[in-house]
Structure 1
Amino acid sequence: MKILHIISQKPSDTGSGIYLQNIIKEFTGLNHSQSLVYGGESQGNLKDIDVFSTYEVVFNSSELPFPVAGMSDTMPYKSTIYKEMDNSMVSLYEAAFKKQVLKAVEEFSPDYILCHHLYFLTALVKEWVKDIKIIGFCHGTDLRQMRSHNLKNSFIREKVKKLDKIIALHEVQKKEIQEIYNVEPHKIIPLGIGFDNKIFHPLDTEKNNEIIDIIFTGKISYAKGIQYLIEAFSSLKTDKQIRLNLIGMGHGVEYENILSQSKGSKNEIKFWGMVDQIKLKEIYNKGHIFILPSLYEGLPLVLVEALACGLRVITSDLPGIKPWFGDVINNSNMITYIDIPERVSQDQLKKQNEDVYKENIKRALLNSLDTLHHMDHDISLDRFTWKNLTSQLDDILKNIKKQRDIASR
């Protein structure tokens, strides 16, 4: 089987990039030949992605004289915001991706095209490529783009609804996709996400219980609730020595404001920047509590990675997470959910509710600190692996082929 993967941004540094890298790795194990079209700025080889061929659309170049367009308005690197693109930028974007996509289709001749994000590039690919089955992947940020502005939205809806299949993260997201794109329900398949159990697992490492390490991993941005986490953590009064570890990067004024805010904390806050997955595993295994206070997510991969390393997890009560984890994990004492009060938009609280949310985070942290040594580690995460997810995806592709063969008889 020959599979062409397409992503409009850098295939690294974000959840969708990690998703892409892992299904490529698992498909390689199934002996599928693969190629990749992606947005970047390096004009160089991709690290940790082993495919037959790559086709880079180079931003910050004479052809595209602006940074990579990011699916989030706040990316961990300098990026272009879609809603700020003018007609000239849109035209250059279309032309540059069309050149590389059609070149990849001609040279690689794929059986299937897998497009990440139900957004502008996926719609363009559906417009340009008529005779190859195209599967779209929803990561959540695409839905937020569709709701926040009107850049080519009618065109995107028209093309996305014609995709052959759409992979959703969970049932709640499936309903959102139906509402936004008017897609027939039978086309949408919720598969969740996966984790690499060869990397994320308990190590024979002794924790330093004199310092309780609380860990956050993700973009250092307001949408992730970092400002509320820092304020709640800073106000904690406990007889334990505690440290907040922030792993990831931000960008621009927002990131600078977060750095400045952290300096006022009476409790220790450590910024790690970007770390690779091996280092992340080591940090998790030495830590005690993982926290994700995001106001908006698709389905956070970091939660299952943290659980796999034996961390107590605190997460905001985001749509789709509880049903995805199921009763066994939800009813264990390994995970605590933070109530999110009423919001103005998906990633912004009402002003009067900010103190409520900070108090909710603080209460969850104190409860986890008090019950840290009463955890049930005996939970199975086997169904959440990338291997399991990719096996299901492989079955979907085979079924599409079977139906196509029947139709052609």
Structure 2
Amino acid sequence: MASIRVREATQKLFFDFQFQGKRCREQTALENTLANRKKLETILKRIEAEITLGTFEYHKYFPNSPRAQEFTKQSEVRRSREAYDTPLFREFSQDWMREMKIQWRKSHALTIEGTLRNYLVPEFGDKEVGHITKKDILEFRASLAKVTTRSKKSLSASRINKIMMPLRMILSEAANRFEFTSPYLGIKSLKVPRSDVEPFSLEEVRLILATVRADFRNYYTVRFFTGLRTGEIDGLQWDCVDFQRRQILVRQALVNGEIEQTKTDGSYRHIEMPQLVYDALKDQRKATGNNTFVFCNGAGNPLEHNNVTKRVWYPLLSHLGLRKRRPYQTRHTAATLWLAAGENPEWIARQMGHTTTEMLFRVYSRYVPNLTRRDGSAFERLLINEFEAKVTPAEEAASDEV
């Protein structure tokens, strides 16, 4: 309850009241007399009335108080929101993009710019960031489910989540700057169906390498037996091939036709060359050793992966009667072959560019049940050894009587 109180040390009166959930005590220069108390109580009643009406302005009563600046700023922000005085999404998203771009890879920045241009700005561009509602967000996400691609397919849950991600980040930043609660709060990402890997068997790998065009045999040999990502092998340069140590140094990748640093620290690694890869790269050196890139076209430029996939990879699978699978499955094939061969999982994870073995076992272990002991065979052998090998004479006699 508000009151006029006296400070013991100075015997001066001060105001003691609550405002916006905070206790406020403001000192005066007045002595503790009956007249001064009545004067301050009159002022205090006026303050309480204005607080109740929502018209109280702290700085008018206590201009020199540290609290005045704090409450004035809060009031201005509140009035700004009430007056729709926050920037348009179009303007704020541009500022946000300029600030964030410096910490992103160029390819990621281009992806975010495309998402803003094609989806977010057309939907929210003319709305103020402080007045985009949760309903607006959910309706927009629902509309994305009705969008069809050029191949007449609906956008996947994963694609929708990637479109929504910049919106969440932009609204979160706007909420921090203009002090409102982000409408994205409590909205969860769509559940993405777990995609299964489809590695090739060793027989299928042999068939592919025996049939593929001669000028691409080395390329696919390296892909199948190193686990390199598409961008990593397409961006591989000769100065990153160490024949002496039999290692491939993964330092960069080709993304959208440009060389970029690896995506994560784990991707920055070296891969050991098995004999097949060593021989393939030695042979490739004869063909492209005078160029910068290990695998390149006639002009010495890096391969364009979409072109290779459509003109070489898919026609080859069709010719061999194999199920159509993305070239990325060559990476999954390397992982499963390493596991099946009994290589150390931590070594495999490093070869793949993973920081831990968690993803390795979660994604690939079902292809090597005996290695991971997930088929129950080890337990079965334990039971046989313990219960059949240690039967006592008494147990044998009891069994014969039965």
Normalised by the length of structure 2, the TM-score is 0.28
Find the structure with the greater CA-based Rg: 2
Q: Which has the higher strand share?
A: 1
Q: Which has the higher helix share?
A: 2
Higher relative contact order by CA 8 Å / sep ≥ 6: 1 or 2?
1
Normalised by the length of structure 1, the TM-score is 0.28
